[in-house]
Structure 1
Amino acid sequence: MMRPKLAFAMSPEKTRHVFNAALLSRLSACCDVVATSPLQNLDSAESRAILADTEVLVTGWGCPMLSPAILRTASKLRLIAHAAGTVKFTVDPSAYARGIRVTHAAEANAVPVAEFTLAAILFANKRIFEFRDLYQADTSRRSSHRLMDENVGNFGRTIGLVGASRIGRKVAALLQHFDFEVLLYDPFVQPGDPVTAGADLVDLDTLMARADVVSIHAPSLPNNRAMIGPRQLELMQDGATLINTARGALVDEAALLRELRSGRIQAVIDVTDPEIPPPDSLFFSLPNVFLTPHIAGAIGTERGRLGLMAVEEVERFVRGDTLLYEVEPALLERLA
């Protein structure tokens, strides 16, 4: 049986650590690798010649859009294995009409986001950054001791999860190891869903009003834009924390900054809209904001998990086994 021909399409600068030597060796063991250097300009004559012979295309961050014209060039293509998260900005829907199968590594990218979120929840309830600032300003620890007598700590706190995405579900599972009450808002989750075994389904306003920490895990879709608006933010308890590792567009940031300026709530923000705020944005200067540059997802060595998942899917495809992370056309509209 002839082995399928495989090529890569991604940006080497953005995908360092995704495929190490061991993973590349596994791909070579099940496929004939047409070109080891990733394709970056799919319109070049060289790229088109490679694509015309490719049956398995491994894509990643920096891959140009696989447009209908490009897909027509890749006339033998049978599988697109995306070694990253969403495929909405990489794969044109016409791929499905061609019978091309698509798989992605969003499940792998969800792992570090869930870990980051858990750490943020634990630190937020412990008010760790406030303690740091107090200690730096008052080495006698008197002000730190006063804060210890307030409503701080992780025992018996209420955590609200907005969205039962793959990340939201991973966070919910991690929270079961702690003494938390977990609330969940997701209009697509029905009673009896496995996630409800560890989280109580509530409406969004109830979640915002009751949670000590609100963590956002909804997809960024047109109907979700600014879903956390002035009303929801005003419902948050004094001293509560908002965590956003999803997308900045899900939050009305002007309303959020108004609440933050009052000092009434705190925020852990990994994503903003726009992706990089203006230099004079209060996100950079408010003491009750912990801002990070979109690092919750796979960075550094964590990217190796993306490559591993893509390689395992290619191996399943070659063996004729069921793909575990196939992207079905019907799910595209609900993907982030």
Structure 2
Amino acid sequence: MLRVVMAATPSFREMVFAPADWGRIEALADLRVLDDPRDAVSLVEALPEADVLITSWGAVPMTADVLAHAPRLRLIAHSASSVKHFVTDAVFDRGIRITQVGQAMARPVAEVALAFTLTMLHRIHRYDHAMHAGATWTDAIAAPPQHGITGSRIGVVGASRTGAEYIAMAVALGAEVVVYDPYLTDERAASFGVRRVELDELLRTSRAVVLHAPTLPETREMIGRRELALMPDGASLVNTARSWLIDSDALLDELRSGRIDAALDVFDEEPLPVDSPLRGLPNVLLTPHRAAGTVEGYLEMGELVADELERYAAGDALRFEVTAEALARMG
């Protein structure tokens, strides 16, 4: 049997691992569970006998010093999304393989991004804010023109896992989708039924701009004051990715002008302060970084971990393996 260490809080384990998937892991493994994923001391004590480490939110950075205590370790299976915050070069230097289950979050986040897009196009957020604020019927109706998604040009920045899920749904609903992504090939774009364009063209011509780009040095504030000014009057910006991608001060200025609308699930400061000026704007839809928070999505993460462990134990190819090259392009 594999010797497996899992570092995850009891609440995380209950949320992510259904009894059937927990049973699948126990059938494969001599399992040791650590309740505090941030406890480096306990992790180092458990690692010497571990073949596999299952990590979760708050994982201890896998530095050379930590891995020096893990002579048997051959696989790290991350039961959440990005591994970038704890995987170091030392992991790859030692030949340890990495797998993660971010795919389980792609669909829920894409669904929220699509819901945001439809809300922006139909101005539902403006009507809702006005009605809750006690506006008269006539005043509540006063909003920019509404549009349907069929025939609207939607600009997607980033054909990531989540971006690909979003694109499939938007295309299925009849949107004309254009994509900016330096890594997207013409062949893959054609398979999506979309067209590749440069960022400026996307911004100038899209009724809604939807961000799915990774957090990389080159994407820092890629949507700045100049880029926002390219968006047409009445256009909307949707961000369920990271606030890293946007110059937040420039966005606030544009939103205060009322020229564009926005739907935001991510912010520079989280929790979003109660006195944030974003909260008082009628052309902004806000949610508290919950785009990935579906019951089904969390349970799928546990299912995929169990799947990957079964593949590893059988000597089969891992479905969600992360290479050093792939990690360099991930957010």
Q: TM-score range by the shorter chain?
A: over 0.9
Matches within 5 A, 1:172-321: 172-194=167-189, 197-321=192-316
Kindly state the Cα deviation for residue 283 of structure 1 after the two structures are TM-superposed.
1.5
Check whether the contact 1:17–1:301 (CA below 8 A) recurs between aligned residues.
no
1:55-110 per-position Cα deviation (integer Å, ceiling 9, x unaligned)? 01111112211221111111111110001111111222211121111100111111
SS at match of 1:17: helix
1:27-74 per-position Cα deviation (integer Å, ceiling 9, x unaligned)? 0111221x2344535543x54332111101111112211221111111
Alignment of 1:84 onto 2:80 = yes
Kindly state the Cα deviation for residue 293 of structure 1 after the two structures are TM-superposed.
1.3
Check whether the contact 1:15–1:303 (CA below 8 A) recurs between aligned residues.
no
Check whether the contact 2:130–2:282 (CA below 8 A) recurs between aligned residues.
no
Alignment of 1:73 onto 2:80 = no
Alignment of 1:40 onto 2:37 = yes
How many residues were matched structurally? Answer: 331
In 2: Cα distance, 1:296 partner to 1:15 partner:
20
Letter in 1 for 2:33: T
Gaps of 5+ in 1: none
Residue number in structure 2 paired with 1:56: 52
Letter in 2 for 1:224: T
Check whether the contact 1:248–1:275 (CA below 8 A) recurs between aligned residues.
no
In 1: Cα distance, 2:62 partner to 2:294 partner:
24
Letter in 2 for 1:40: P
- Cα distance change, pair 15–235 in 1 and its aligned pair in 2 (3 A): farther
In 2: Cα distance, 1:332 partner to 1:80 partner:
14
Identity of aligned residues (%): 38
SS at match of 1:290: strand
Check whether the contact 1:11–1:63 (CA below 8 A) recurs between aligned residues.
no
Question: Please, what TM-score do these two structures have when normalized by structure 2?
Answer: 0.93
Check whether the contact 1:10–1:64 (CA below 8 A) recurs between aligned residues.
no
SS at match of 2:328: helix
- Cα distance change, pair 195–325 in 1 and its aligned pair in 2 (3 A): farther
Kindly state the Cα deviation for residue 278 of structure 1 after the two structures are TM-superposed.
4.2
In 1: Cα distance, 2:131 partner to 2:272 partner:
29
Kindly state the Cα deviation for residue 129 of structure 1 after the two structures are TM-superposed.
1.6
Letter in 2 for 1:231: R
SS at match of 1:184: strand
In 1: Cα distance, 2:129 partner to 2:248 partner:
25
Check whether the contact 1:245–1:269 (CA below 8 A) recurs between aligned residues.
yes
1:205-245 per-position Cα deviation (integer Å, ceiling 9, x unaligned)? 11111111100011111111110011111111111110111
Letter in 2 for 1:254: D
In 1: Cα distance, 2:147 partner to 2:300 partner:
35
Letter in 2 for 1:324: R
Cα RMSD, aligned residues only: 2.1
SS at match of 1:173: helix
Question: Please, what TM-score do these two structures have when normalized by structure 1?
Answer: 0.91
Letter in 1 for 2:220: R
In 2: Cα distance, 1:295 partner to 1:56 partner:
30
Residue number in structure 2 paired with 1:10: 8
Residue number in structure 2 paired with 1:27: 25
Alignment of 1:116 onto 2:107 = no
- Cα distance change, pair 180–12 in 1 and its aligned pair in 2 (3 A): same
SS at match of 1:233: helix
Kindly state the Cα deviation for residue 130 of structure 1 after the two structures are TM-superposed.
1.8
